[in-house]
Amino acid sequence: MSATFISCNNSENSKNGDRGALASSAAEKTYVAPGEHDEFYAFISGGFSGQLSVYGLPSGRLLKVIPVFSQDAEKAWGYNEETKPMLNTSHGFIPWDDAHHPDISQTAGKLDGRWVFINGNNTPRIAKIDLTTFETTEIIEVPNSAGNHSSSFVTENTEYVVAGTRFSVPVPQRDMPINEYKGNFKGALTFISVEPEEGHMDIKFQLMMPGFDYDLAHPGRGKSHGWFFFSTYNTEEANTLMEVNSSQNDKDFIAAVNWKKIEEYVNNGGGKKVPANYAHNIYDEETHTATSTMKKEVLTVDPLEVPGAVFLLPTPKSPHGCDVDPTGEYIIGNGKLSADLTVHSYSKMIDAIENEKFDGDAYGIPILKFEDVLAGTVKQAGLGPLHTEFDGKGNGYTSFFISSEVVKWNVETQEVIDRKPSYYSVGHVMIPGGNSAEPFGKYVVSMNKITKDRYLPTGPEVTHSAQLYDISGEKMELLLDFPTIGEPHYAAGIPADIIKPNSKKIYKLDENKHEHATLSNGDARVERDGNEVHVYMTMIRSHFTPDNIEGIKVGDKVYFHVTNHEQDYDVPHGISMIGANTSELLIMPGQTETFVWEPKQPGVWPFYCTDFCSALHQEMQGYVRVSPADSNIELSWSLGED
């Protein structure tokens, strides 16, 4: 036995020798020289981090973490007064969510790079991120939904971003026995319209489907534009021990929704308005302030009221990913408990609908015959297929969770072309534009759930990771591992050239409409209103105006409204006050932000700039004198006076 062991080691050594040359070729392919830019942006969700990370490809360099659903002390997101309303919901202020499926806006089926949409799973919400500022500018809560998973995918012209519920729930929510689920719970598929200029979101309608679990979704495109496809599982409508009870049916469904037909129905007065309560939060770039509005009504649509709008396509084994190829002809069901991939044909689906080739119904919704919509099956492609993206050259790339690999296959012939292992347990995959009519099929990124020994260990919790494969040739080539923020759940990628020129450099000070902005130093001041004190402060290299404040008392609530007077690219300033029960502020040039400080002890307390802004950064500081509550010291403020 020991002889075998040694001889194996020998062969390993000889291969190690070969690795040098091959590894250097991969290094060249991912090397972006200092000062040079990556070719693609990758927006990779942080899963349980609640945020969205921006990476460059092919280098895998982390460029920014955009706070979305979780408070971020670094950027004061959800800590400063301006952004707190962004995290408001019908359940109150929620400092966290589970961010899942970013999708970039499209025009005519192609990425237009205006916005990224992303869903919060836990307390159902959809966020919109503006790709000029790379900031979250809008969050809408989704009522009648729970576990907002089948989201946030856009239609071909970003007419809608959809949000499908994972959990079916009582609609309206009410106190009822859990075991009366079957037939009583509903699954809402929500179509949120996106206004073309500013991208403002508004719930157009909610399609109230049977109480299945809705897992993922993708839009029709090209010939199938006007349809949306949703994968379902738990068509058994079980409510306990789901790992057993929701896997009893050999086939679940992909629900095909003709949203154009429903839109027409709704535009003609169809649907039923029902009471609801959900937050709609908008961040205004000019006021640098978010507002939260509670909406009280939503329009629901019963699928049976719109004949010809909803059909069910039987699809084996609890399909997870539900992916549409760039031509719009093929709809792929990734049955996650299966070894096969199901490829449905849009044309055959239309033919089956026209000829009423039905195989019964579910709660009145026609079920199409499996054989009549099936284009083919990728047989024994791997274990546990999860998600398919496309390269625009006729190939699909599917992740297989259980067999931990990425498999390339031909969409027309359903033949497997290549397979490569992933390290380890790949979830979703991403090709830039891989969910559009025009993919950029140069790289595929796999997002892995487990890394174990892939990096230096950091205790029980080790980083998640993404892996980059070159897919420009017949065979895939693994180029790079890179660590990620949180769980890299899903991603959207886009050529850098589409959005790079639009990236904003500064906010114009003369366009600042913040209610508490201080646009000239002469306006810097401190005002008292009872025990509320408002400090109107400016900052510029390398001082605050004012930097000495007296007359604050224990028990006051002090609002620091701080305006950054810089008008140079990349000169933010920060500010924090000793003992403030909140984060720093990080204020971009031309922007105003506010934090609250409630001094509890008399004394002279300093504040300082927290962003290394300049050569005199360490001089950028000030003092606040805090006197006892019954003190009669007058408010005063100054800069440069003795």
Partner 1 sequence: MKAIIKFFLLTILIAGISACRNSSEAEEEDISASTEQASEERQGQAFVKDDVSEPTVLDIAIQSEDHSTLVAAVQTAELENALVNAGPLMVFAPTDEAFEALPEGTVDDLLKPENKNKLSLILKHHVTPGKYDKEFLKKFKKLGQASDLSVPVEVKGEDVYVGGAKIIASVPAGNGIVHVVDKVIIPEN
Q: Which of 211, 219, 384, 488 binds partner 1 (CB under 8 A)?
A: 384
Q: Which of 28, 453, 510, 642 binds partner 1 (CB under 8 A)?
A: 453
Pairing, β 92-93 against β 103-107: unpaired
Q: Which of 51, 30, 35, 68 is nearest to 485 (CA)?
A: 51
- CB of 56: closest distance to partner 1 in angstroms? 20
**109 touching partner 1, by CB under 8 A:** no
Q: Which of 32, 402, 571, 635 binds partner 1 (CB under 8 A)?
A: 402
Angle (nearest 5°) at CA 26 between 436 and 452: 85
User: CB atoms < 10 A from the CB of 507, how many?
Assistant: 21
* Residues from 182 through 201 that contact partner 1 (CB under 8 A): none
**417 touching partner 1, by CB under 8 A:** no
Which among 56-64, 140-148, 273-281, 333-341 is the span making contact with partner 1, rule CB under 8 A? Answer: 333-341
Which among 206-214, 244-252, 368-376, 584-592 is the span making contact with partner 1, rule CB under 8 A? Answer: 244-252
The C-alpha atoms of residue 408 and residue 398 are separated, in whole angstroms, by 7
For residue 424, whether the previous peptide bond is cis, meaning omega lies within 30 degrees of 0, is yes
The C-alpha atoms of residue 559 and residue 290 are separated, in whole angstroms, by 17
**383 touching partner 1, by CB under 8 A:** yes
- CB of 230: closest distance to partner 1 in angstroms? 22
The C-alpha atoms of residue 495 and residue 245 are separated, in whole angstroms, by 43
The two tokens of residue 131 are 């790709």
Q: Which of 88, 281, 338, 484 binds partner 1 (CB under 8 A)?
A: 338
Total number of residues shown for the chain: 642
- CB of 444: closest distance to partner 1 in angstroms? 13
Q: Which of 75, 100, 317, 514 binds partner 1 (CB under 8 A)?
A: 317
Which among 155-163, 224-232, 423-431, 436-444 is the span making contact with partner 1, rule CB under 8 A? Answer: 423-431
User: CB atoms < 10 A from the CB of 438, how many?
Assistant: 14
Contact flags string 273-312 toward partner 1, x per CB under 8 A: ----------------------------------------
Where would I find the H helices in 219-323? Answer: 242-245, 259-267
> Closest CB to partner 1 among 27 and 176?
27
- CB of 49: closest distance to partner 1 in angstroms? 20
**462 touching partner 1, by CB under 8 A:** no
The SS3 of residue 163 is strand
**5 touching partner 1, by CB under 8 A:** yes
> Closest CB to partner 1 among 23 and 604?
23
The SS3 of residue 348 is helix
For tokens 């224990």, name the residue: 554
Q: Which of 28, 175, 197, 243 binds partner 1 (CB under 8 A)?
A: 243
CA distances (Å), origin 206, targets 68, 82, 414: 24, 31, 35
**449 touching partner 1, by CB under 8 A:** yes
Task: Compute how many residues bind partner 1; rule: CB under 8 A.
Answer: 48
What are 35-39's contacts with CB under 8 Å, separation 24+? 37/496, 37/500, 38/496, 39/442, 39/495, 39/496
The C-alpha atoms of residue 69 and residue 53 are separated, in whole angstroms, by 12
> Closest CB to partner 1 among 97 and 405?
405
**240 touching partner 1, by CB under 8 A:** no
> Closest CB to partner 1 among 8 and 304?
8
- CB of 244: closest distance to partner 1 in angstroms? 7
What is the rounded end-to-end Cα distance, in angstroms, of the chain? 86
**420 touching partner 1, by CB under 8 A:** yes
Which among 268-276, 446-454, 505-513, 556-564 is the span making contact with partner 1, rule CB under 8 A? Answer: 446-454
Region of 356 please: left (phi>0), alpha (psi -120 to 50) or beta.
left
**461 touching partner 1, by CB under 8 A:** no
**18 touching partner 1, by CB under 8 A:** yes
* Residues from 116 through 175 that contact partner 1 (CB under 8 A): none
The C-alpha atoms of residue 333 and residue 313 are separated, in whole angstroms, by 10
Q: Which of 235, 388, 404, 518 binds partner 1 (CB under 8 A)?
A: 404
Q: Please, which residues have CB within 8 angstroms of residue 15's CB and are 6 or more apart in sequence?
A: none
**438 touching partner 1, by CB under 8 A:** no
**23 touching partner 1, by CB under 8 A:** yes
**26 touching partner 1, by CB under 8 A:** yes
Angle (nearest 5°) at CA 630 between 624 and 634: 50
* Residues from 246 through 265 that contact partner 1 (CB under 8 A): 247, 250
- CB of 498: closest distance to partner 1 in angstroms? 30
Q: Return the bridge partners of 368, or none.
A: 358
The C-alpha atoms of residue 261 and residue 241 are separated, in whole angstroms, by 37
Pairing, β 92-93 against β 310-316: unpaired
The C-alpha atoms of residue 249 and residue 80 are separated, in whole angstroms, by 50
Q: What is the DSSP string of 442-462?
A: TEEEEEES--GGGS---SS--
- CB of 450: closest distance to partner 1 in angstroms? 6
Residue 561 near residue 516 (C-beta atoms within 8 A): yes
For tokens 């966020």, name the residue: 127
**340 touching partner 1, by CB under 8 A:** yes
Contact flags string 472-491 toward partner 1, x per CB under 8 A: -x-xxxxx------------
Element (H, E) at 563: strand 557-564
**408 touching partner 1, by CB under 8 A:** no
Q: Which of 137, 315, 403, 414 binds partner 1 (CB under 8 A)?
A: 403
The two tokens of residue 204 are 């157009």
**202 touching partner 1, by CB under 8 A:** no
> Closest CB to partner 1 among 125 and 336?
336
CA distances (Å), origin 233, targets 110, 216, 334, 523, 559: 30, 10, 12, 61, 50
**366 touching partner 1, by CB under 8 A:** no
**530 touching partner 1, by CB under 8 A:** no
Q: Which residues bind partner 1 (CB under 8 A)?
A: 1-2, 4-5, 8-9, 11-12, 15, 18-19, 22-23, 25-26, 243-244, 247, 250, 316-317, 337-340, 380, 383-384, 401-405, 420-421, 423-425, 449-450, 452-453, 473, 475-479
